[in-house]
Copies of this chain bind each other. A is one copy, B any other.
């Protein structure tokens, strides 16, 4: 049997999705729950790796197992066996050939910041605090320059395995919005390089802080040089919001 699971988690306590020896990971924790419910460990494949401390609102995983169980019952049983910072928010039977990563047409990420001189204990680990006001109009203007198809080498962390000529991606959404004191970067694209959204967020922040003009974004993008982009923003503000399996849903 194959199931498509949609997962929501608060990532603070986890070293990301991917199983690594000796540390708590989301994949390992979900497999523990699968084992408790089905008496077999099954095989669990995710739609992407995620960094330590990153959150997910709609991560998609495929569970392959020998048992057959009604999806709604499986969802309830998994939730009853998961720690309270992870929830299965969707569960359905999937075709045998379904692969959550290879079949994904696009993903949407959100980078969450808030502007407040004093930190908010209720957003600790959930959003990046900006102690001083930023120019969100300039940030949004610069974000718009990233729309479309480009080589995003300038926003790819060293350590990524993808050769420079294969770093072309298409963004169909890239905007900065403000609601009250919350400032969000929302990015939808057909693929993302290693740390790409966090480097975008860090670069946009420097523009918002007035340390670079918005127009610098176009040059940074064209230059293809990681060292000219901004710092990598902390993991705590990043959310994998949604995975699209139909191109047109993501505007592609």
The A interface is mostly helix, strand or loop, or mixed, namely mixed
Bound Cα distance from A85 to B118, whole angstroms: 12
- Choose one: B75, B84, B118; the contact of A87 (CB below 8 Å): B118
Chain B residues within 8 Å of A79, by CB: 118-119
The answer to whether B124 and A84 have CB atoms under 8 Å apart is yes
Produce 1/0 per residue, A10-34, CB < 8 A to B. 1000000000000000000000000
Bound Cα distance from A85 to B120, whole angstroms: 8
Bound Cα distance from A37 to B125, whole angstroms: 25
Q: How far is the CB of A157 from chain B (nearest CB, A)?
A: 26
Q: How far is the CB of A36 from chain B (nearest CB, A)?
A: 17
Produce 1/0 per residue, A75-105, CB < 8 A to B. 1000100001111110000000000000000
Chain B residues within 8 Å of A84, by CB: 119, 121, 124-125
- Choose one: B55, B87, B121; the contact of A86 (CB below 8 Å): B121
- Choose one: B8, B88, B121; the contact of A8 (CB below 8 Å): B121
Chain B residues within 8 Å of A111, by CB: none
Chain B residues within 8 Å of A87, by CB: 118-121
A residues within 8 Å of B by Cβ? 8-10, 55, 75, 79, 84-89, 118-122, 124-126
The 6 residue pairs across chains A and B that have the minimum distance between CB atoms: A10-B121, A84-B124, A85-B121, A87-B121, A89-B118, A87-B119
A to B CB contacts below 8 Å, 23 in the list = A8-B120, A8-B121, A8-B122, A9-B121, A10-B121, A10-B122, A10-B124, A55-B122, A75-B118, A79-B118, A79-B119, A84-B119, A84-B121, A84-B124, A84-B125, A85-B121, A85-B124, A87-B118, A87-B120, A87-B121, A88-B118, A89-B118, A122-B126
